[in-house]
């Protein structure tokens, strides 16, 4: 009976719960879903991480390749994130080129990397102007239950923080670059990590944290805040939709800060 | 008819917004158009709609809005796609799309000259073109750009030029609605503290109120000229 009511009147169904300050899945308005993080799940990748945020399940695999740096930035390498959302994760996705939604999610990750400068790209330079590391991070969504931004960011940054760069030596005799397998590889230097928190605005007035898929569909707008645990904000991204008062923004900032502390602890604890 | 120059900068709020100049009906083949000058940055916008759309793009309960924005950048990256999404979502907030079901509204934006604060110039120009097009709107949306300088004691720069943007550690674009002055859109680059963002919010809101007054003045002047 409840399931039929939910499919015919999703908004009213949801409203009845919100009026009692609770959501259909039992969470309060400011509660996150349970987050599980594991690393090293893909053996063939240079680094990998799997994230389960409620039912949103995705994994990030990183592959290192050597390439030529651009002329504008001859001493910097590249990090190329790519989110793949196939029909496997949700029926609304069709095979083929990424939709505008996927491209926006991809761009969000890229913006976070650039804004926060969490990874100094000069570490990826092998020889200035000639050789640099390209980090290809493929994030495959296996099950989509909303909030792709937060989950994919956690997977990406965890995989990057566990990545080890091999040493490249230049062999004078053969005039070629060789991989030095004997020296221990070093981890990438990672600056303070920002954590992304997404909010959805229900009925133009009520802010809910960590929306699942059903909540994303019935709300008009989302707000994503990326903040480090020391309070440095890297992104406040709100793309149209219902208006938010300044005081509500302040509350969201503080909730995002609390979340940042929890997630950094989770990333540090994970082996 | 053309609106010509508008200059109502008074002493008190002179520093809040740059010199604004707006012309309506600049393109004859569109349903609504505007050219918008914000300091030295200028943008042109043309709107077609409501028009017929393909079955695949049709939505039963509202109009499908399509944005094509040309930022005049040399390389095309996902960044332009994200900015287009932001402009599209802002347009969807402004237009009462439920008034025009199963139709499409096409918005074309072209950057004429970029001297900083380009995203806010695009959104302000879009608002003006929508006024000219006569589409039903719930409210106007005004956009303000703030530049947050590197030094924490320096004040926030409103509508920074291209040179000033390069010296800033972060650039924040905020959009407010004209009724309650709630934040409709927020887009940031760079890193900043919560305090700085709150300062930017306060200053942008004052600038937003000023801008709404200017837009209302332009609207009244142009309708007086028409009648």
Q: What ipTM is given for this predicted complex?
A: 0.88
Strand-pairing partners, residue B70, are: B110
What pLDDT score was predicted for residue A6?
A: 85
B205 to chain A, closest Cα gap in Å = 10
Q: What is the DSSP annotation of A169-207?
A: EEETTTTEEEEE-SSPPEEPPB-PPPEEEEEEEETTTEE
CB A238 to CB B78 under 8 A? no
CB A236 to CB B202 under 8 A? no
Chain A touched by B56 (CB under 8 Å):
no
Instruction: Give the pLDDT band (50/70/90) at residue B73.
Output: confident
pLDDT at A152 over 70: yes
CA distance A255 to A209: 9
What pLDDT score was predicted for residue B123?
A: 96
Closest Cβ opposite residue A104 in set B85, B186, B198: B85
CB A243 to CB B193 under 8 A? no
Which residues in B lie closer than 8 A to residue A206 (C-beta atoms)?
none
CA distance A133 to B219: 55
> Among B119, B140, B175, B183, which would you mutate to test the A interface (most chain A Cβ atoms within 10 Å of its Cβ)?
B183
CB B82 to CB A249 under 8 A? no
CB A110 to CB B78 under 8 A? yes
CA distance A60 to A83: 9
pLDDT tens per residue, range A201-241: 988 888 999 999 989 988 888 999 999 989 999 999 998 88
- Fill in the DSSP letter of residue A119: B
Report how far apart, in Å, the C-alpha atoms of B109 and of each of B83, B87, B129, B170 are.
Answer: 12, 10, 10, 25
Q: How much is the pTM?
A: 0.90
Strand-pairing partners, residue A244, are: B183
pLDDT tens per residue, range B38-65: 999 999 999 998 999 999 889 999 999 9
Strand-pairing partners, residue A198, are: A224
Average pLDDT over residues B202-225: 89
Average pLDDT over residues A79-84: 92
Q: Which DSSP helix (H) or strand (E) runs through A22?
A: none
What pLDDT score was predicted for residue B9?
A: 52
> Among A196, A225, A233, A254, which would you mutate to test the B interface (most chain B Cβ atoms within 10 Å of its Cβ)?
A233
pLDDT tens per residue, range B81-122: 889 989 999 999 999 999 999 999 999 999 999 998 999 999
B192 to chain A, closest Cα gap in Å = 5
Residues of chain A with a CB closer than 8 angstroms to some CB in chain B: 100, 103-104, 106-108, 110-111, 114-117, 220-221, 223, 227, 231-246, 249-250, 253, 257
What pLDDT score was predicted for residue B14?
A: 59
A244 to chain B, closest Cα gap in Å = 5
Q: What is the mean pLDDT of chain A?
A: 89
Quick one: what percent of chain B has pLDDT higher than 90? Answer: 73
CB A115 to CB B188 under 8 A? yes
Closest Cβ opposite residue B193 in set A111, A231, A249: A231
Strands A78-85, A56-67: parallel, antiparallel or unpaired by DSSP? unpaired
CA distance A236 to B186: 6
Number of A to B CB contacts under 8 A, please give it: 104
Task: Name the token pair of B148.
Answer: 């947050």
Closest Cβ opposite residue A235 in set B81, B88, B188: B188
Q: Write out chain B in H/E/C secondary structure.
A: CCCCECCCCCCCCCCCCCCEEEEECCCCCCCEEEEEEECCEEEEEEEEEEECCCCCCCCCCCCEEEEEEECCCCCCCHHHHHHHHHHHHHHHHHECHHHCCCCEEEEEEEEEECCCCHHHHHHHHHHHHHHHHCCCECCCEEEEEEEEECCCCCCCEECCCHHHHHHEEEEEEEEEECCCCCEEEEEEEECEEHHHHHHHHHHHHHHHHHHHHHHHHHHHHHHHHHC
What pLDDT score was predicted for residue B5?
A: 37
Question: Which region among A25-29, A59-63, B55-59, B74-78 has the lowest average model confidence (pLDDT)?
Answer: B74-78
Which residues in B lie closer than 8 A to residue A231 (C-beta atoms)?
193-194
């Amino acid at each position: 009976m409840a399931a039929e009511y939910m499919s015919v009147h999703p908004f009213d169904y949801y409203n009845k719960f919100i009026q009692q300050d609770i959501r259909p899945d039992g969470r309060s308005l400011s509660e996150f879903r349970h987050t599980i993080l594991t690393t090293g799940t893909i053996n063939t990748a240079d680094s990998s991480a799997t994230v389960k945020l409620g039912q949103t399940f995705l994994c990030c695999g990183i592959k290192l390749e050597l390439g030529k740096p651009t002329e504008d930035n001859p001493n910097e390498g590249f990090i190329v994130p790519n989110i793949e959302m196939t029909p496997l994760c949700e029926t609304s996705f069709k095979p083929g080129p990424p939709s505008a939604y996927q491209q926006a999610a991809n761009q969000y990750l890229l913006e976070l990397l650039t804004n926060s400068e969490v990874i100094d790209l000069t570490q990826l330079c092998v020889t200035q102007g000639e050789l640099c590391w390209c980090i290809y991070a493929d994030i495959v969504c296996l099950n989509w239950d909303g909030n792709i931004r937060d989950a994919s960011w956690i997977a990406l940054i965890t995989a990057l923080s566990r990545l080890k760069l091999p040493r490249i030596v230049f062999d004078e005799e053969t005039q070629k670059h060789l991989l030095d397998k004997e020296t221990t590889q070093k981890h990438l230097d990672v600056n303070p990590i920002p954590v992304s928190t997404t909010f959805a605005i229900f009925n133009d007035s009520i802010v809910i944290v960590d929306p699942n898929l059903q909540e994303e569909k019935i709300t008009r707008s989302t707000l994503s805040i990326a903040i480090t645990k020391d309070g440095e904000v890297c992104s406040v991204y709100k793309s149209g939709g219902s208006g938010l008062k300044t005081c509500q923004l302040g509350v969201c900032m503080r909730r995002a800060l609390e979340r940042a502390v929890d997630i950094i602890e989770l990333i540090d604890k994970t082996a | 008819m053309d609106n010509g120059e508008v200059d109502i900068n008074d002493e008190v709020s002179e520093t809040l917004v740059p010199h604004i100049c707006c012309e309506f009906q600049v393109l004859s083949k569109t349903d609504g158009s505007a050219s918008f000058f914000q300091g030295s940055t200028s943008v042109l916008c043309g709107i077609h709609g409501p028009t017929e759309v393909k079955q695949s793009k049709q939505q039963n309960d509202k109009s499908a809005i399509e944005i094509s924005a040309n930022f005049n950048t040399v390389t095309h990256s996902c960044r332009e796609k994200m900015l287009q999404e932001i402009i599209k979502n802002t347009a969807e907030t402004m237009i009462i799309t439920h008034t025009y079901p199963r139709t499409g509204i096409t918005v074309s934006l072209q950057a004429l000259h970029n001297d900083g604060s380009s995203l806010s110039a695009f959104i302000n120009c879009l608002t003006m073109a929508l006024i000219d097009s006569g589409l039903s709107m719930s409210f106007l949306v005004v956009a303000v750009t703030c530049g947050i300088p590197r030094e924490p004691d320096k004040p926030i720069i409103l509508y920074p030029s291209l040179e000033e943007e390069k010296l800033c550690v972060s650039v924040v674009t905020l959009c407010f609605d004209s009724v309650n002055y709630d934040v409709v859109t927020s887009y940031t680059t760079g890193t900043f503290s919560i305090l700085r963002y709150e300062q930017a919010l306060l200053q942008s809101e004052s600038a937003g109120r000023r801008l709404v007054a200017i837009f209302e003045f332009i609207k009244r002047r142009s309708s007086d000229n028409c009648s």
